[in-house]
Amino acid sequence: MPADLHIHTYFSDGSESPEAVVELAKKAGLTAIAITDHDVVSGIERAAARGRELGLEVIPGIEFTTEAYDSEIHILGYFIDIKEPRLLEKISRMQKGREERVFKICEKLKELGAPVDPEKVFTLAGHRAAGRPHVARALIEAGHVRNFREAFNKYLAFHSPAYVSHYKLMPTEAVELIGQAKGLAVYGHPAVSACDGIVPELASAGLAGIEVYYSGHDESQTKHYEELARKHGLLMTGGSDFHGSNGGREINLGDIMLPDDLLARLKDEHLRRNRS
Ligand code: AMP
Ligand code: ZN
Ligand code: FE
Ligand code: FE
């Protein structure tokens, strides 16, 4: 019963609907998936409904964008209660921050001689809480860059000139918020952040696992994070970070197939922590 615990829909910056994601996952031979949209939980109920029809387990999840030590740290949450009031309040603040940030990015792009219309970005996203990949698409469509890579390198990447921050949680805050929503927090794609030093404080805040198996991790990085997880007594999870066929990267469902026993351990830990 292989699982993929890191998937985006068009409620953040994926290109597929929740239903389409579930159908693709079923076709790929997965038996469980987690929907982990950036800073939002809007796709989960629809995915779960389609999952029930097709006999595919849908785990409610989220991927929080956080920042610390001059690095972007992504914290995944699993088995969260998507109606938890404090979670919803933070999400709504983050969504507003994302919208405001698009206007700021567009102002910077104008100054840099690569103007894009913020409304075009929102249209491409299909919602107002857009992300940088939507800006990247607008830049490509306007003819300012040839591809995603150029859009990020030249303008949008963390230290590039049109980068703008938005309201974010601290990594430990995200871990605590996930715990408050009865979920399990996992450090997402740690090799992308390259900030291993943060693991002890995340662990103290209640981190449950590390996303060891990830489409962007090479063999040595996977091995390194297996060891780091063991060292800190953390569970090992895995996911593809699928963003859809039009998501700007070549990742498919089925690229990561997390074995049963690792998902079972995650579920045990979830039960253990939420016994009343
Ligand atoms: P945001 O949440 O708006 O900050 O955008 C984050 C999204 O942009 C994530 O899905 C990242 O994978 C993607 N992203 C970040 N850096 C790059 C990059 N250098 N090339 C392509 N995509 C990127
Ligand atoms: Zn994304
Ligand atoms: Fe991420
Ligand atoms: Fe992701």
134 ligand 1 Cβ < 6 A: no
The domains spanning 3-83+177-273 and 91-156 adopt the same CATH topology: no
38 ligand 1 Cβ < 6 A: yes
Give the mean pLDDT of 109-117: 98
CA of 73 to the centre of ligand 2 (A): 13
Per-domain residue ranges of the chain: 3-83+177-273, 91-156
Q: What is the pLDDT of residue 250?
A: 81
pLDDT by residue (tens digit) across 214-233?
999 999 999 999 999 999 99
Q: What is the pLDDT of residue 245?
A: 80
**DSSP single-letter state for residue 275:** -
The preferred substitution site among 64, 102, 132, 242 for testing ligand 1, maximizing ligand atoms within 8 Å of CB, is: 132
Q: Return the amino acid letter for 232.
A: H
157 ligand 1 Cβ < 6 A: yes
Q: What is the pLDDT of residue 247?
A: 53
Residue nearest to atom 13 of ligand 1 (CA): 133
Structure tokens at 230: 């063991």
Give the burial class of 228: count Cβ atoms within 10 A of its Cβ; 0-12 exposed, 13-18 middle, 19 or more buried: middle
CA of 272 to the centre of ligand 2 (A): 30
Given a cut of 80, whether residue 239 has pLDDT beyond it is yes
Q: What is the pLDDT of residue 235?
A: 98
Q: Which fold has domain 91-156?
A: DNA polymerase; domain 1 (1.10.150)
Q: What is d(CA 226, CA 235) in angstroms, rounded to the nearest whole number?
A: 9
Domain 3-83+177-273 belongs in CATH node 3.20.20.140: yes
**141: β partners:** none
Name the E strands within the chain. Answer: 3-7, 32-35, 57-68, 71-78, 184-187, 209-214, 235-239
